[in-house]
Amino acid sequence: MAAEEVNYLCIMTKKNIREFNLPELKTYFESIEEKKFRAIQVYEWLWKKNVRSFSEMTNLSLELREKLMDVFSFNVITTDITQHSLDGTLKTRFKTYDGHLMEGVLIPTEKRFTACVSSQIGCSLACKFCATGQMERIRNLSFEEIYDQVAILNEQCLLAYDKPLSNIVYMGMGEPLLNYKHVLKSIERITSTESWGMSPKRITVSTSGIAKMIKQLGDDGVRFNLALSLHAADDKKRSELMPINDTNNLSQLVEALNYFYQKTKNDITLEYILFKNINDSIEDAQRLVTLYRQIPTHLINVIEYNPVAGVPFIKPEEETTNMFTQYLANHRVNVRLRRSRGKDIDAACGQLANKS
């Protein structure tokens, strides 16, 4: 049996220490006749200092560290490959404890340093324009695997730019609302004063549009922002681009987004990728304005299409893009044209596919 398989089997027979909350850790330490403050020390190593092994917990005795290693697993992700774009964007391919791969991106701009993180390994929604959508969904990421992406991207940000992350977007591989429990738990951990303490207003979760789960976000009173990957303002075109629209059509999404806003008052952004001769006409812009009026959205992001191998879409000419965005602006739509970042390393919107 290969060494990697042995290590994986050992991990699977142990309890994952990061699934324990602080009271549970205190109970464990009491059960082995250790002081409660040891639990606090371990918890700080896990969530404030972001260590990735028991051996790094240097204020614990060697004997206690060895005892923890015998009882608990430490299922961290590791950096596989990091690529550097000419525009300063960094794309990292991560490896999970069980050998799967996924990607995250550090996006630097003048005012922000944003981590774009993945929520699944692969994706099941098969959006026609997206590289990840061409992949099989293997499994959901656990909350600590999502958290690890943020921690590693923050380390990269500090090293490359001497600044910490300012924002986090769940816009990487996978559909966040199909990994609802772990996405919310990761955000809870990121925003907790016991770990990062980041404001939830600096976090945006992007969804392809699952109406039931958008309403659930409202019922759960989440405090982060929401982005809807729209890409067409009529059902026929949207279903051709995004099969999820067959079961979650625009009228259902309008209702769900209004419900979410009534419950939370959080910002909602519409994401709209322009595809040449598909959704870039003035008629498409008119339909988008009509839809915009039905949703309490604060912004439409018009996004440049980024090429994906084997996918037949291309982006419109600059003149068409400008006419489209100007039409929106002329009709009192708060619109922003989002230029691609990291396109030369396949790190831009829709390009993540574990390619290096």
Report the alpha-carbon distance of residue 207 to residue 245 in Å, rounded. 12
The two tokens of residue 200 are: 């939830």
Q: Between β-strands 299-303 and 335-338, what pairing exists: parallel, antiparallel or unpaired?
A: parallel
Cα angle value 241/246/247 (rounded, 5°): 135
- Residues, the chain: 356
Whether 143 contacts 79, CB under 8 Å: no
Active-site entry in 103, 145, 271, 304: 103
- DSSP secondary structure code for residue 228 in this structure: E
Whether 127 contacts 208, CB under 8 Å: yes
Of 213, 224, 215, 152, the C-alpha closest to 191 is 224
- The secondary structure element, H or E, covering residue 113 is strand 113-116
Report the alpha-carbon distance of residue 91 to residue 71 in Å, rounded. 35
Residue with tokens 């988008």: 288
The answer to whether residue 349 is catalytic is yes
Report the alpha-carbon distance of residue 352 to residue 80 in Å, rounded. 15
**CA atoms within a 13 Å half-sphere pointing along the CA-CB vector of 126:** 8
Q: Give CA separation, 175 vs 180, 227, 259, 306, in Å.
A: 9, 12, 20, 19
Active-site entry in 123, 130, 157, 349: 349
The two tokens of residue 290 are: 């009509």
Whether 207 contacts 180, CB under 8 Å: no
Cα angle value 77/79/83 (rounded, 5°): 145
The answer to whether residue 144 is catalytic is no
Q: Which residues are catalytic?
A: 103, 349
